[in-house]
Amino acid sequence: MNATVDPVQLEIFKHRFRAMAEEMGAALCRSAYSSNIKERKDFSCALFDAQGQLLAQAEHLPVHLGSMPLSVQAAIQALHFEPGDSVLLNDPFAGGTHLPDITMVEAVFLDGESSPRFYVANRAHHADVGGMTPGSMPLSREIFQEGLRIPPLKWRKRGQVDADLLALILNNVRTPLEREGDLLAQHAANQIGSKRLIALCQSVGPEMVSQQGVALQAYAARMMRAVIAKIPDGVYAFADALEDDGQGAGPLVIAVTLTVQGENAKVDFSGTAPQSRGCVNTILAVTLSAVFYVFRCLLDNEVPSNSGCLEPIEVIAPFGSLVNARFPSAVVGGNVETSQRLVDVLLGALAQALPELIPAASCGSMNNLIIGGSAGDQPFAYYETMGGGHGGGPLGAGISGQHSHMTNTLNTPIEALELAFPFRVWRYCLRSNSGGAGQFPGGEGLVRELEMLSPASVTLLTERRILAPYGLNGGEAGGLGVNTLIQRGQETPLPGKVQLELKSGDRVRVETPGGGGWGALTP
């Protein structure tokens, strides 16, 4: 450690910064309107330095946090911030990830300074942002079908709401009151972060706060280099695939070549399939987010998660491929499904170098269920991701029935779901015998069965229904997921990606995949 950096002060500031981000998240969760945010906690909060580099984050969603710096930087490049400004954006081709994820960015000004000293930001998944289907996660062919695209725009100027812009947004979504409430909750969260940063600067001086932020980023980079140095030098390749793109094309290969040399790593996705006409394409921010997550998992929990973690890692994602798509590609599924497969291929490559450390594949899908319609004259939009089995690993069996990797959300409790939506939950339980066998077996998936109490549009956006989560070191693959439609007692198998129009009394059942097993069973 640099002799000019006090390690005790560094540890104190690490916790101060992270606590601010956690408090932002608590405020957002408490004040949000939608069950997707207040129950499932489908949001993330973070602090950024004056250049838009990640300074600290709460323990929220990996797919949000690794990609949010590009959103903040897009806002900085597009607009001139003044005190009281608040910027919205969701356009994947201008700093976003997919359209339901709306990012809100605010600059932190100190008294007497004309330029922002810091930025605070949060990203929340809105249950509907318009588009061709309720819930804004259709089996689309282009970005225009997925909802309202918002480039970096000031929805608050010098503290005053731009009523025209807000009206434009709310008139293009199916649930405007809920959307407005969630936007106000996002603003409240950023206000908390801004106030805490200003108070800290007033307490210890702004230069001290800025210096500690730089020192924490440098510390994270040093720790990442040290971890990479422990990986044996070499070239490690792995490939897996998405089953289909929802438009009849598939399987779609995702290939990675990991080159480790000394304290540096190169992650090369050359050989990955070209972008598809379906909605499973990702933009570069999501790919970077997956790389950030996987390598961050190699670090000790006490190492801060900030922009320094990516400093020793070079990422090559060919433009026009599935992992770095061109405008106007459809991308809504890339954020949720392709991000999971990116993790699977990265861990598969690392397993060759670190077989004593890396677990088998987890569920491999966020198991997206999107339902929308009207109950009487009241519109509704419901979105949920469902957990599955974690992969078994060298330290033990996989966890059952939880989200893994790029998603870190909770479930929607039955009571909250039935109170807020015209559904009846028929079944919600662990899925027996779905984990892959092995010395350390994979965790079990979930079963969720819902009955519609009013006509509704339903979209399923799922994976691992054909290609199972892999096992490692002799362990068996995890069980495949299964989707089923139940009408008048008749069960009909459904594909992994499908859009349906259901009547009152129809049911849909989602059985999520189990995790892969690790290690051969002893005879």
The residues, ordered by sequence, that sit 6+ positions from 88 with a Cβ below 8 Å of its Cβ are 102, 103, 104, 150, 152, 153, 155, 169, 183
Output DSSP code: residue 360.
P
| For residues 368-386, average pLDDT | 93
Higher-pLDDT residue of 66 and 346 is 346
pLDDT for 319 beyond 70 = yes
Amino acid 408: pLDDT = 82
First to last CA, the chain: 50
Confidence of residue 65 (pLDDT cuts 50, 70, 90): low
Return phi, psi of residue 15, to 5°. -75, -35
Q: Please report the DSSP string for 1-35 in residue order.
A: --TTS-HHHHHHHHHHHHHHHHHHHHHHHHH--SH
Taking residues 355-375, what's their average pLDDT?
96
Contact criterion met (CB below 8 Å) for 230 and 262: no
Q: What is the mean pLDDT of residues 481-488?
A: 98
Length of the chain: 523
Q: What is the pLDDT of residue 58?
A: 85
CB of 417 closer than 8 Å to CB of 425: yes
Q: Is the pLDDT of residue 3 over 70?
A: no
**% of the chain surpassing 90 pLDDT:** 91
Average pLDDT value over all residues in the chain: 95
- Is residue 61's pLDDT more than 80? no
pLDDT digits (tens, 9 = 90+) for 485-514: 999 999 999 999 999 999 999 999 999 999
Whose CA is closest to 483, among 501, 468, 498?
A: 498
Instruction: Note the pLDDT of residue 371.
Output: 97
Six token digits for residue 508 = 């849909």
CB atoms near residue 160 (< 10 Å): 10
230-264 pLDDT, tens digit per residue, is 999 999 999 999 999 999 999 999 999 999 999 99
pLDDT score, position 1? 44
Percent of the chain with pLDDT over 70: 99
For residue 408, give the 3-state DSSP assignment.
Answer: coil
In this predicted structure, the answer to whether residue 308 has a pLDDT above a threshold of 60 is yes
Summarised one tens digit per residue, pLDDT across range 119-148 is 999 999 999 999 999 999 999 999 999 999
Tokens of 11: 């540890």
Whether 309 and 292 have beta carbons less than 8 Å apart is answered as: yes
Going 364 to 21 to 315 to 237, the CA torsion angle's sign is negative
Tokens 């207040």 belong to residue? 38
**DSSP 3-state assignment of 472?**
strand
Residue 511: strand pairing partners? 447, 482
Between the alpha carbon of residue 163 and those of residues 102, 156, 167, 347, 438, the distances in Å are 18, 9, 6, 47, 59
pLDDT tens column, 162-221: 999 999 999 999 999 999 999 999 999 999 999 999 999 999 999 999 999 999 999 999
Sequence-ordered list of residues with C-beta below 8 angstroms from that of 281, at least 6 positions apart, any chain: 275, 322, 325, 329, 330, 331, 334, 338
Q: What is the pLDDT of residues 5-53, one digit of tens each?
A: 789 999 999 999 999 999 999 999 999 999 989 998 899 999 999 999 9
Contacts of 429 (CB under 8 A, 6+ apart): 446, 447
